[in-house]
Structure 1
């Protein structure tokens, strides 16, 4: 998988920003699509995928419960 994607949940990361989630989503979509920068005719689909993966990442992190961690480090 993408070695540059960092773990975004506690205790590995305490304060996760929208920018952190978007960067991870961008790396994921780049890896899956094989495009670092898509051609103009693929840009809309690429950008939409990044937004959807960012939203899914936020939903996942909000739903996770990590034992022994303080409640929701993102809030």
Structure 2
């Protein structure tokens, strides 16, 4: 779906920064909303969605267990 979003778990990304997570969240919200940048009356909803997706992504990465290793190196690690 979102070809510009990179895989953010080991071994594809040995180190994931909060900026990586934010960029992926922004790309996802842009894709599903159809807006590159929202109109001012939609900005709060757009920004809240980006923050929610970024938080969910960070949680996911922190909880994933990669076979043959431990937890992934998420932003909260």
Using the size of structure 1 for normalisation, the TM-score is 0.94
Counterpart for residue 28 of structure 2: 28
Counterpart for residue 59 of structure 1: 59
Query: Is the partner of 1:21 in helix, strand or coil?
Result: helix
Query: Is the partner of 2:50 in helix, strand or coil?
Result: helix
Query: Is the partner of 2:31 in helix, strand or coil?
Result: helix
Consecutive unaligned residues of structure 1, counting only runs of 5 or more, are none
Q: Pairwise mapping of residues 1-75 of structure 1 onto structure 2 (< 5 A)?
A: 1-74=1-74, 75=77
Query: Which digits, 9 at most, give the CA deviation of each residue in 1:1-56, with x for residues without a partner?
Result: 01000000000001000000000000000000000000000000000000000000
Question: Quick one: distance in 2 between partners of 1:6 and 1:69?
Answer: 21
Kept in 2: contact 1:10–1:69 (CA 8 A): no
Question: Quick one: distance in 2 between partners of 1:37 and 1:71?
Answer: 35
Using the size of structure 2 for normalisation, the TM-score is 0.92
Paired positions, count:
75
